[in-house]
Structure 1
Amino acid sequence: MAGGAEEAGRDWTRLPMQWLSEHQRARKYDRADLCCGMIPLLGGQVVRPAYRWLLRQRPSQLLAHIRSVTDPAGLTALKDQYTATGHAGANDCNNALNRVTWIVTAKGGTVHDVTIGDCVELQHAIGEHQTNGYQGEHLFYALLAGLGVFGPDAPHG
């Protein structure tokens, strides 16, 4: 936030390049280098971006890489829960996993640390910062509830 990346969204990579140039430390980096460098920082929960920034990034590769290092067992359990409930379709599963990955990336912790409030906050952020047609998707909540993340008295999704 302090560096302006939050406001810059997908253009955040121009900020470190500009800083390097202004301090005569310009090197030949490109957007891909900086994005690759951000993945371990996000996956290792060193950097926890706000939803505004996170939801404006292209999720395809970023979230898959984060999932591979941030609670892979918890995310595999969610995938298994998806299959066990009779759901089919890679897109629906991926959308649900993306939502849980966004929460864990922004909040820190593991899948089992996600709260109902986190789910509500994410849905609000999605409605505010994305227009991809999936605002009403609540499968991620149902999978988390089915996994027992919210406890036995949680409302059904």
Structure 2
Amino acid sequence: MPGAGWTELPLRTRHQPEPPSHERTDLSSGLLMLICGDVIRPGPPWVLTRTHRCAASVAAEARDPEGFARLAELAVSQTHSGKDAQIAATRIATVPACEGGLIRDITVGDCVEPFDTQRRVHVRGGQHKVDFYPRLRALGTFPEDVPATIRACEQALGRLSIEELVDRYPIRRRAIRDLLVEHLRERQPSLDFAILDAISRTLAGLFWARIEELSSGIDPLQLSPALARA
């Protein structure tokens, strides 16, 4: 019967002169294969905070050879640098990793979601973080009338309310959440949306959500000196 002897595998492994590797790189490569094979589908925050140098090449081979070949041809035709093209391809590979499908199945909404997630989880990369969108647009993946930039897409899809800005972060204390909402609403008339977004990210994400992560049972606004320094 296939698989009947699986219980003996650990015993056989113990007697091998060189047991199988459990190096971090080997484990991450195995995980990458499971993702590209649609065995598991991680969420955008997990994918965007963990990069693998072979993510694009494995996705090209295992998931969508035609789509990534067209992407490579575009990079050559537009004389993009190899590094920029690799970063964009890796970012594009994260979308089907989370949503399934092929490059041609990616929608504008699929791009806006990870773009917003990148800001919430503070992914570095500057312009490289959004360079994947114009490449997909140039491939003809989107309708012809879509905005030229992903930031314009956000504006077209509508801006988040004050409550939605704060609720992007897992704040468990309702009183603190309401306090942040009230504070931002008071400041809203004198700020543009970009600054309001940045302040909400700092207060709700970098400040209070981080505090609750360090001390889940904290009494609101009564921080010990040690916790304040952390």
Q: TM-score range by the shorter chain?
A: 0.7 to 0.9
Offset of residue 99 of structure 1: 1.3
Which residue matches 2:85?
93
Residues 36 and 92 from structure 1, CA distance in 2 versus in 1: closer, same or farther, beyond 3 angstroms?
Answer: closer
Partners of 1:65 and 1:149 lie apart in 2 by: 21
Partners of 1:56 and 1:137 lie apart in 2 by: 12
Offset of residue 69 of structure 1: 1.0
Residues 32 and 133 from structure 1, CA distance in 2 versus in 1: closer, same or farther, beyond 3 angstroms?
Answer: closer
Partners of 1:95 and 1:45 lie apart in 2 by: 22
* Structure 1 gap ranges (5+): 1-26
Output the TM-score relative to the length of structure 2: 0.51
Partners of 2:139 and 2:56 lie apart in 1 by: 21
Which residue matches 1:125?
117
Offset of residue 35 of structure 1: 2.2
Query: Which of 23, 48, 52 is matched with 2:45 structurally?
Result: 52
1:80 partner amino acid? E
Which 10-residue stretch deviates more, 126-135 or 91-100? Answer: 126-135
What do the CA deviations read for 1:7-59 (whole angstroms, capped 9, x no partner)?
A: xxxxxxxxxxxxxxxxxxxx865234432322221111121100111122232
Partners of 1:148 and 1:52 lie apart in 2 by: 27
Larger Rg: 2
Partners of 2:72 and 2:56 lie apart in 1 by: 15
Offset of residue 147 of structure 1: 1.1
Contact 1:127 1:135 in 2 (8 A): no
Equivalent residue pairs, number: 131
What do the CA deviations read for 1:60-117 (whole angstroms, capped 9, x no partner)?
A: 1344323321102101111212222x23211111111111101111110000110101
Output the TM-score relative to the length of structure 1: 0.72
Residues 62 and 138 from structure 1, CA distance in 2 versus in 1: closer, same or farther, beyond 3 angstroms?
Answer: closer
Partners of 1:145 and 1:70 lie apart in 2 by: 20
Which residue matches 1:66?
59
1:104 partner amino acid? P
Contact 2:60 2:67 in 1 (8 A): no
Residues 136 and 80 from structure 1, CA distance in 2 versus in 1: closer, same or farther, beyond 3 angstroms?
Answer: closer
1:35 partner amino acid? S
Does residue 143 (structure 1) correspond to residue 135 (structure 2)? The answer is: yes
Does residue 113 (structure 1) correspond to residue 99 (structure 2)? The answer is: no
Query: Which of 94, 102, 106 is matched with 2:94 structurally?
Result: 102
Residues 100 and 48 from structure 1, CA distance in 2 versus in 1: closer, same or farther, beyond 3 angstroms?
Answer: same
Residues 142 and 34 from structure 1, CA distance in 2 versus in 1: closer, same or farther, beyond 3 angstroms?
Answer: same
Residues 140 and 58 from structure 1, CA distance in 2 versus in 1: closer, same or farther, beyond 3 angstroms?
Answer: closer
Offset of residue 134 of structure 1: 2.7
Percent of aligned positions that are identical: 29
